[in-house]
Amino acid sequence: MDRLTHVGLLVLLGAVTVVVSVTDAHLAYVRPGFRPFLLGAGVLLLALGVLGLTRGHATTRSARPAPSAHDHEHGTTPRVAWLLLLPVAVMFLVAPPALGAFTVARRAQCVRASRA
């Protein structure tokens, strides 16, 4: 993956995280008290991605020195890095339903019964 792909994944993941945390969709993944942390993480990812885009754009405009024989890259990023796209795909394709009151009450009873 090249730098633009890395930055694009950051922007995409940050945008999805912000959208999920602003809507009530985050309740399917985390507790309501984690909303500010989720929103902060999404804004941070989005800001880092936008910063990377602006820095990358400025780098491409500046004059680069002539590459030597040993400056070319050999694909140093592992292919497993594409797995960063997996959380974004899960958010878009598989949205779990929000927990209903019955499920929450049943889980609370199970926790109380196991502690007793």
Q: What is the dihedral sign for C-alpha 108, 111, 112, 113?
A: positive
Q: Is the pLDDT of residue 4 over 70?
A: yes
Residue 44: pLDDT above 90?
yes
| 8 vs 14: CA distance, rounded Å | 10
pTM (predicted TM-score):
0.55
Q: Taken in order 67, 71, 74, 78, is the CA torsion positive or negative?
A: negative
Domain ranges of the chain: 3-62+81-115
More confident residue, 47 or 76: 47
User: The tokens of 102 are what?
Assistant: 């019955």
pLDDT digit string, tens, across residues 66-109: 555 555 555 566 677 778 778 777 777 776 666 667 766 776 66
Q: Within 13 Å, how many C-alpha atoms sit on residue 22's CB side?
A: 8
Q: What is the mean pLDDT of residues 23-28?
A: 84
